[in-house]
Structure 1
Amino acid sequence: MPRILLIDDDEHLAAPLASYFARFDCVLESAQRPSEGLAKLRAQAYDAAILDVMLPEMDGFALCREIRKESDIPIVMLTARGDVMDRVVGLELGADDYLPKPFEPRELVARVQTILRRQRALPAAAPAQRRVFAGLSIDLDRREVLRQGERVELTGTEFELLALLADPPGKVWSRDDILNRLRGHEAELYTRAVDIVVSRLRKKLEPLDCIKTLRNAGYMLAVGKSDP
């Protein structure tokens, strides 16, 4: 049963949300302060975290940054205003999805379920569980990426994007196609999110320059074959 951690200082939110998540066979635990949330994440295993932007001690963006220093756990950000810049900043810091307040509990559950399915799923048309290219190795079973022999720490979204671009390499994926494959068809299309995740992934794969942008078309993985 998936275990989710909600970090939100609204004391009236946790209990009804926990009851609602339980209807979908998910355990929702909560913390009202970032320090408490970080302590729980370090002490226990969770499948995803939900962070409010407006928090005491530090805001949700700073908290997301702290979590990303230690973990690639899927993160959903709750933004009070639904401001585009809030979404952009959260995604740039490593969040996997966002949801503006006020929100319907069912939509939050759907977003979390989509992320959890994505974490468990492998690319549909990928019988080989390891993709090896010049300077880049992608292990689909272990969800491990090696860049020039060195392990690269990727978030769930970054890994799924790389696995998608590698299936097969050289195929051009439009932004909308990427969103539909990675976030589910029910998710709101937000093409700027793809650009942000691609930018994060490129930085982590440096000095490899293997993700190419095709103007008005999308993205592709341009890598050479590995030496035998």
Structure 2
Amino acid sequence: MPDLLVLDVLMTEIDGRDVCRVLRVDYDLPILMLAARSSADDRVLGLELGADGYLTKPYDPRELVAEPGRAHTRRELAERLGGLDRTATDRGVDMHVVNPRRKLQPDPRSPAYLLTVHGFGYKLADGSAG
């Protein structure tokens, strides 16, 4: 079982949104939807279908794997994860962290992987502490 699924919306044989919908019936793994469509409606639809995050193309693959150990502000996360409009609140970004944290953490109340940097934002643990 994978720890995380990065799911492209546009695949040759099947729509990634359909795959996400089917996987959600039986599996509780974190899903990051990858898509060229970047409108708010497209992002919301992906999240409503069960994705935990939404990354728009084009993107730099280094962006996907460069978070460990580096803290990111809530605004930075909102912009990188689909360009949420500027009226997005800090609490709105916090809510988008809840599902991946719940799925990735052995104990979501005591995070070990997706860490809060109080008064700033979030970071992935760099792995050196364990």
Higher relative contact order (CA 8 A, sep 6+): 2
Tell me the residue number matched to 1:198. 97
Return the offset for 1:194: 2.5
Match of 1:209 in 2: 112
TM-score (norm 1): 0.33
RMSD of aligned alpha carbons: 3.9
Using the size of structure 2 for normalisation, the TM-score is 0.52
User: Which of residues 214, 218, 221 in structure 1 aligns to 2:124?
Assistant: 221
The sequence identity of aligned pairs, in percent, is 25
The partner residue of 2:51 within 94, 97, 110 is: 94
1 CA distance for matches of 2:123 and 2:52?
A: 23
Pairwise CA distance, 1:95: 5.9
> Is 1:69 matched with 2:8?
no
- SS of match in other structure, 1:45: coil
**Deviation, structure 1 residue 73:** 7.5
1 CA distance for matches of 2:61 and 2:10?
21
Q: Within 1, Cα distance between the matches of 2:80 and 2:44?
A: 20
Q: Which has the larger radius of gyration?
A: 1
Alpha-carbon distance, 1:200 to partner: 1.3
Q: Structure 1 unaligned segments of length 5 or more: list them.
A: 5-43, 50-63, 79-88, 98-113, 125-159
Mapping of residues 70-85 of structure 1, within 5 Å: 72=31, 74=33, 76-77=43-44
User: Which letter maps to 2:25?
Assistant: K
Structure 2 CA distance for aligned equivalents of residues 73 and 46 of structure 1? 15
Residues 77 and 223 of structure 1: CA distance in aligned 2, closer, same or farther (over 3 Å): closer
Q: How is 1:40-79 mapped onto 2 (pairs within 5 angstroms)?
A: 44-48=13-17, 68-69=24-25, 72=31, 74=33, 76-77=43-44
In the TM superposition, residue 170 of structure 1 has moved relative to its aligned partner by 2.4
By how many angstroms is 1:67 displaced?
5.4
* 2-structure distance, mates of 1:205, 1:217: 21
Q: What is the aligned partner in structure 1 of residue 85 from structure 2?
A: 188
CA distance in 2, matches of 1:224, 1:95: 22
User: Aligned residue for 1:122?
Assistant: 61
Contact 2:114 2:124 in 1 (8 A): yes
Aligned letter for 2:14? A
CA offsets, 1:55-92, max 9 Å, x none? xxxxxxxxx866533684836446xxxxxxxxxx949x
Write the distance in 1 (CA, Å) between the matches of 2:82 and 2:116.
Answer: 21
Q: Which residue of 2 aligns with 1:28?
A: none
Q: How far apart in 2 are the matches of 1:196 and 1:3?
A: 27
Which whole-Å CA distance do the structure 1 matches of 2:99 and 2:123 have between them?
15
